[in-house]
Amino acid sequence: MIPGVSLLEILTVSTLMFFIGVYGFVTRKNLITVLMSLELILNGAAINFAAFNKYLYPGQPDGQFFTLFLIAVAAAEVALAIAIVINLYRRILSVDVDNVNTLKH
């Protein structure tokens, strides 16, 4: 519980992060920035869990458990994504989304 900050303000921040992330995911052209947008959404969810836990259900640490697992899984996911991006970069010497279009109908 942070004195002077209400749950509503924290939720506003996390919702903003969610929408900025989705917007970035759709519009960005660089694969690394797409990954950064993804990370924004994941962290928005992590903030949600921690905030709900602290403000509404302070008795049990359920939400914080979920946040911890979420951070670990997000790290694994990004590590794998970056490995695949590096492999792609070796093939076409670019990380631009527009160049990744050999598979088309």
> Which residues contribute to the site for other proteins (CB under 8 A)?
18, 21-22, 25, 31, 34-35, 38, 41-42, 44-45, 48-49, 52, 56-57, 62-63, 65-66, 69-70, 73, 76-77, 80-81, 83-85, 87-88, 91-92, 100, 102-103, 105
Q: In terms of DSSP H, where are the helices of the chain?
A: 7-27, 31-55, 62-92
CB 69 within 8 A of CB 50: no
Q: Is 30 helix (H, G, I), strand (E, B) or coil?
A: strand
Minimum distance of other proteins from residue 101's CB (angstroms): 8
CA-based radius of gyration for the chain = 17
Minimum distance of other proteins from residue 48's CB (angstroms): 4
